[in-house]
Amino acid sequence: LQWSSPPEAIERFKSQEIWFAPPQFYELCRLCNFSSLRELHKFSSGRALEGCERWMPVMLTASDGYIQLLPGDELYPEDPDYTGEKNIIMSTDKKVEDLMKEGSIFHRIVIKNINSLAVYVNIQAKYKHMNPLMINTDYSDYNSKL
């Protein structure tokens, strides 16, 4: 077991020394906004009573990867399948790069493969929360429209 700061953990993920599932990667990117535990504590104490939002990521399968859509993203469904009973499958023949170039309102995690994740967010976080830093582990550049 080794302690790592959020930026160090992301670097270890990039070098494939460790692995994180997309939600944990997203939260590590959010923690990168704080340079110290004191800063994080001050922020969390200040926004603790603001409220929170339940999220259900929705997976969009593209021809060369996946996009995990989060609330606020322009492709996020109006009525997500929270229980799995509807068995809704979102897929497209388009490539991830094309979907990123066509889009303009992002709250998503792009997954090219198990070791290649990227967070893209250009919406305002609710409840005075902090958006994650947009970190890309495979160095593709979809930032031109951000």
Residue 132 lies in a domain: no
Tokens of 86: 């509807």
User: What CA–CA distance (Å, rounded) separates 44 from 142?
Assistant: 31
Q: Buried b / exposed e across 51-81, counting CB within 10 Å, b at 16+? A: eeeeeebbebebeebbbbbbbbbebbeeeee
Whether 40 is covered by a domain: the verdict is: yes
Structural domain contains residue 128:
no
Average pLDDT, the chain: 89
The residue-averaged pLDDT of 43-53 equals 89
Let me know if residue 31 belongs to a domain: yes
Domains in the chain, number = 1
Q: How confident is the model at residue 16 (pLDDT cuts 50, 70, 90)?
A: very high
Residue 110 in any domain: the answer is: yes
- Please indicate whether residue 3 or residue 101 has the higher confidence score (pLDDT): 101
Mean pLDDT of 93-108: 96
Domain of 59, in residue numbers: 6-121
Residue 73 near residue 108, CB atoms below 8 Å: yes
Structure confidence at residue 139 (pLDDT): 53
What pLDDT was estimated at residue 103? Answer: 94
* Mean of pLDDT values over 89-97: 93
The per-residue b/e assignment along 10-34, b for 16 or more CB within 10 angstroms, e otherwise, is beebbeeeeeeebeebbebbbbbeb
Residue 11 lies in a domain: yes
Among the residue ranges 29-38, 48-57, 99-108, the one predicted with the least confidence is 48-57
Assess if residue 140 is contained within a domain: no
107 domain-assigned: yes
Cα–Cα distance, 135 to 65 (Å, whole number)? 17
Assess whether pLDDT exceeds 60 at residue 86.
Answer: yes
